[in-house]
Every structure is written in C-alpha cells, then in structure tokens.
Structure 1
C-alpha cells in the first residue's frame, strides 16, 4: 500500500526564507543569541525561524533587517511570503534547493527533455548565458553524487519530446543517446508515455513532484507565465490522478529504451 500523502512538516517556503535570513546573519557576524537578545526572543526561536519551523512576525524582521544590513531585502521577502496568495510560495522561492534535498523526483514533460537529463548542447537552445547553463549542469549532480545518496528520478516523457527538433539533428541524436545512458543508472527510470488510444495524457502541463525524506510532497508546476510551487492538498491530489494516467499509458523502462533507440535510428541518424 502506498504511503499516505503528507504536506510538508516544515514549510519549504518558510525554510527558504530562513536560509536567506541565516545568510544575512552570518554575513553580519551575529550569533543566534545576539539576534534573540536584540528582538526579545530566544535563541531557540531564531533557530526555528532559520530552519523554517516557525513563522516570524514582521516586527521581528523590521528590527533585524537594518541590523543585518539587508537593505530591505528581508522585509521584501517576508512580505512576499505572507502576501503571495493561496499557494503560499513567493516568487523568490528556491526550488533547486528542494530538488537537491528530495529523496524522489517524479517528472512529467510533454514537449522537451527534463532539465536534469539534458545535455549541454541541448540546454543551450533554451538558456541564454553560460552561467545559466553551468547552473543547470551543476543541478544534475544530484543524480550521480555519493554523499548524500543520489536522488531517485522517475521521468515520464511524451513521444513528442523525443521527436521535437531542438538545436540540430546531431544535438538530438546526442541527447537521446544520453537519455539511454542515464536510464541505465540504478536510480533513474525513464518511461515514454504513448498515445495509442487517441486520448492524450498530462495535457495540463509539465510538473515535478518532489518526495522528501519525511515522505511529505512538494510540486513545481510549469506555466507560460512562471513556475508555481505548491504543497496544497488539492493540487497534490490532482497531480496524483494525472500520474496514475501517465503510468497506465507509459511503456516499461526497457521498452522505452528500445523506442528511444528506434527514434535515433529513424529520425536523428
């Protein structure tokens, strides 16, 4: 029986704010005890704010922003955190940190190859700078690292992602060969979703579902405007429904590799 779905025990958005607060505190050379003294709190409270376990009031940030020489940045982040609407995840939320801490990532892409599986030549078609490309390549290290243990990736790809021309034919051939190589890693599963009954699946858009070590889940949804991060119960239930459909229409890993090889030979060679 599958583990029950859980919201994050520690809010990822609060944890992201806490990391920013800690960076400014450490840069200013202040201890948690000094922050506690200055704000009339305890060092334990400051620690919990920095770890995302407690939400601090704006008055707390109003005191510390100038003392940490944050130039209003922490106040802006705090306001974004509390005013960004129902989802509760501000636009500055750092998804890559959640991605790196996740135990399992389940990824659906209907148009392109997932970023964690992209070759550099393929990524250049989307990213406009060497810095952005280097950052994407660095993110991929979570799949091959030894400490902590490598992240498990389950990637569902539409057939269209294999046949859409990105860059050049050579770029596509190298990218699909890379997919085959990555699919042979013990922690990476790649399955191609086929539309063999005239009913396409996953038409709502690409998404990533991160399962954390405490079994809580956080999702990243791609839209034409911006990415949305959510741990809302209704959103997670909807994604679970989509994943069930994708799983029912996906080829097994071995058959998916064969299909990828066939696409290389018939379209990109």
Structure 2
C-alpha cells in the first residue's frame, strides 16, 4: 500500500512526515547539517540520520529543533507520533533506540546470538522468525533492523565493541551458504576502525554474564546506560550504581576474551570449518 497523502501533498505516515518536515524546515532556513550541529550542540551526523529516516533522535533533539526553527511544538508532536507508531519497534525498545542514536560509544556482550548491528539480513530474518514473527510484521522488523546497522557507518560513527560467546559462533544458520556469508560479514565488520570484535571461548567457564545479553551506551553528556536482555524480556538500566555493577561484570568477561586479532583468527577458523562441512 502506498503511503497516504494529505491534501497538502505531505505524508500522513508519522515517521515519514517527521522526516519530511525536518528536511523542509532546514531547507527553508538555509542551514547545512554541519551548521545545524554547531548551533545546537549535537554531532551533525545525527541530523543527517534523522533526515534519512534512520533514527528518530530523542525528544530533547526535537525540542531543540523546534526552538531553532520557531515551530513551537510541531516537531516534538511529530516525534511523539512517530515513536508511538505501531509499525515501528516494540514499545520496550523505543527509549533504548533513542539513546542508541545519540551514543558516542557502545560495547556489547552476546550470549547466543549476534548483536543486531552485526547481523546480515538473512540472519535477522531467521532469528526473528524463530522468535515468533511472521508476515508483514516480520518484514517490517527485518527492514528496521537493517536500517539500524547504519549507526556504525560514516566518519562520525560511534566506537563499537562486541564480545561474543563462542556459542554464538557454534550456532549456525540452517542454510550453510548463508551462514558462511554471515561469518564473512563479521570478519568484514571487524576490519573497520571503529569496531572491535572479541570471542570468549567456552573453556573459560562460567562468568557473571553467562545468560545475559548486555549493551552499554556512552552518551554525549558522559552518562552510561545499559540494556540487558534475555530471550523473553529486556530492561533499560539507567541508575548509576546498577550500571556500574554491570560494567564490572562486563570488564571481567572482556578480560577472559581472546584479543581482537586472535578472535579474528578464531572466526576465520569457524568459516573454514563451515566451508569444509558444506563440501562433504
């Protein structure tokens, strides 16, 4: 179904309308993205991602833009409608994604599945399918997840460290060729200057994050928040003492991990094993 259009010719889809207004207002003002960043104090790449529809930003950003353009609460209202749009991510992820878009660095621990930002489209599709999604909802969620990967693109992308349990690399996709492509994608991502990938071998034994996927976000104001997730629920942790305890656990796990160089060698070994198995 094509996007609905109002008599003004602008979209009535909340997210698309928000994007359209952002582009129109900046064009009318005559600002470049860099000028906008300098005036408002956010990295200009955030505004570029918002205008590309890759992220909604946060309410603070929408309010600042309203002030800059003299539009009262127009952009904040559109932002609220876009966030509440049922075609977007589930409610429990919305605040997290707002903060993720603003993060200057991120570090992650994976228990049994690759983090969203390192998944290929097929991996995301298969993982969301076994999680119970299907039809249009599955398609929307896969597309949204692929869009989020662009957070790691560009010269101003945040630094990202992912520590993977060996179990992640021992749990292949059903399609052997697609699994090899996922491993190759992982190696390619690990070559980027802003991305570090490490592996915790199973022989390291039990540790504090054995059953908890965890993502830490370092924000521009110096705060760190955490997202912790099991297979059935997720929670945004913002209280400083709780985040500090999680960070200590993460540091201890990272100490157990192979170095990025040794981890790359291990992932390549997994790729070679996958290639050999598929040829027999």
Shorter-chain TM-score bucket reads 0.5 to 0.7
Inter-partner Cα distance in structure 2 for 1:136 and 1:93? 13
Shift in alpha-carbon separation, 1:123–1:167, aligned structure 2, 3 A: farther
Unmatched runs of 5 consecutive residues or more in structure 1: 1-14, 36-46, 51-67, 78-89
- In the aligned structure 2, how far is the partner of 1:161 from the partner of 1:262? 14
Superposition map of 1:111-260 within 5 A: 111-127=112-128, 128=133, 129-146=138-155, 149-260=156-267
Name the CA distance, whole Å, in 1 between partners of 2:238 and 2:208: 22
* Aligned-pair CA distance for 1:235: 1.8
* Bigger Rg, which one: 1
List gaps (5 residues or longer) in structure 2. 1-56, 85-90
Distance in 2, matches of 1:18 and 1:213, equals 13
Is the 1:157–1:193 contact (alpha carbons within 8 Å) kept by the matching residues of 2?
yes
Partners of 1:102 and 1:244 in 2: how far apart? 19
Shift of 1:130: 1.9
Alignment deviations for residues 65-124 of structure 1 (CA, whole Å, 9 cap, x no partner): xxx79xxx99xx9xxxxxxxxxxxx84743222112101010110101111000111111
Report the number of matched residues.
203
CA shift, 1:141, in A, is 0.7
What is the deviation of 1:18? 5.8
Q: Secondary structure at the match of 1:95?
A: helix
Name the structure 1 match of 2:111: 110
Deviation at 1:240, TM superposition (A): 1.2
Q: TM-score, normalised by structure 2?
A: 0.63
- Asked whether the equivalents of residues 216 and 225 of structure 2 are also in contact (C-alpha less than 8 Å), the reply is yes
Q: Is the 8 A contact 1:210 1:218 kept in 2?
A: yes
